[in-house]
Amino acid sequence: MGVIVALLLCYASVTSASATLMKAEEKRALLQTKWWNTSITPYNVSDPCYWYEISCNDFGSVTQISPLRITSQHRRIGDLNLTAFSYLEELELSRMGLIGTIPIQIETLQHLRHLGLSHNNLAGTIPSQIGALQYLDYLDFSHNNFIGTIPAQIEALENLASLDLSNNYLTGTIPTQIEALQNLAYLDLSNNHLTGTISSQIGAIQFLNHLDFSHNNFIGTIPAQIEALQNLAYLDLSNNYLTGAIPSQLGALQYLHHLDFSHNNLTGTIPTQIEALQNLAYLDLSNNHLTGTILSQIGALQYLNHLDFSHNNLTA
């Protein structure tokens, strides 16, 4: 019995020493960034767990960094030693004026669930190492200067519910691997330079309720399989080079409240099935090559407050 007690005490001592070392490493990493003014309260407290933007677990390890109150100019994301944070679950560094590229050490954040780097001046490509973050459910890289393609390794993010890569300079096609993200509810790839077609497999992302591919260079037709997105409430494919007819299958999207297909090369008539979209509040089909008459049934859409059919070849 005495041996067991001794071993347990030894294990506890080693664990405690390890935790102390880890906390010291985390503190050092935070201070090295110089993002916090340590001459004022509460940042003059030696334990970062008491700082406004830091949260810790019961063992004193940092689990959340969200320096929303920090006004920074031209801070490098590389200033933060990511390898120091073994238990980090949320990293929210939006609107911090960050520059530089995302370090490949991002893959060391094995417990990360939330990653927000939007509205900065980050550049370079999105590292393939992002695929190592298996618990990630929120990813926002929008409003930066990222170039290159969307990495195929994104398919490994099985828990991802929200993906926003909008307002960058991304090129290439939408990787088919995105269709494997079965938990995805929010998908925004708008305002990039993406090309290719919209895959019919988009219908496989069954929980999707927000889909925005606007302001890109997509060609081809709008896939009829979009009808499988039964939870879709927001759909924007405007400002592309889409051709063909508006699929009648849109009528199956009973929760849809925002529909924008404007500024494309769509042809044919307005499908009568649009009258089934009883929750529709925003409808824009302007700047296409639509023909035929304007549906009288549109007037039955009681929540509609924005309607634009201009710059087509429609008759009353």
Q: Classify residue 279 as exposed, middle or buried by CB count within 10 Å of its CB (0-12, 13-18, 19+).
A: middle
- Tokens read off for 106: 């991002």
Q: CA 48, CA 65: separation in Å to the nearest integer?
A: 10
pLDDT confidence tier of residue 71, bands split at 50, 70 and 90 = low
pLDDT tens column, 193-215: 999 999 999 999 999 999 999 99
**pLDDT reading at 17 higher than 60:** no
Q: Average pLDDT in the 243-270 region?
A: 96
Q: Average pLDDT in the 16-36 region?
A: 81
pLDDT tens column, 141-172: 999 999 999 999 999 999 999 999 999 999 99
pLDDT tens column, 86-99: 999 999 999 988 99
Q: What is the pLDDT of residue 219?
A: 98
Q: What is the pLDDT of residue 14?
A: 38
Q: Average pLDDT in the 168-193 region?
A: 96
**pLDDT reading at 73 higher than 90:** no
Residue 15: partners with Cβ closer than 8 Å, 6 or more residues away: none
- Sheet strands (E) in the chain: 54-56, 62-65, 75-76, 90-92, 98-100, 114-116, 121-122, 138-140, 162-164, 186-188, 210-212, 234-236, 243-244, 258-260, 265-266, 282-284, 291-293, 306-308, 313-315
Higher model confidence: residue 67 or residue 235?
Answer: 235
Residue 1: partners with Cβ closer than 8 Å, 6 or more residues away: none
**pLDDT reading at 31 higher than 50:** yes
**pLDDT reading at 105 higher than 80:** yes
Contact in structure between 264 and 241 (CB atoms under 8 Å): yes
Q: What is the pLDDT of residue 153?
A: 96
Q: CA 34, CA 269: separation in Å to the nearest integer?
A: 60
pTM value is 0.92
Pick the CATH number of 2-194 from 3.80.10.10, 3.30.450.40, 3.40.50.720, 3.10.180.10: 3.80.10.10
Q: Average pLDDT in the 11-38 region?
A: 74
Q: Average pLDDT in the 21-47 region?
A: 88
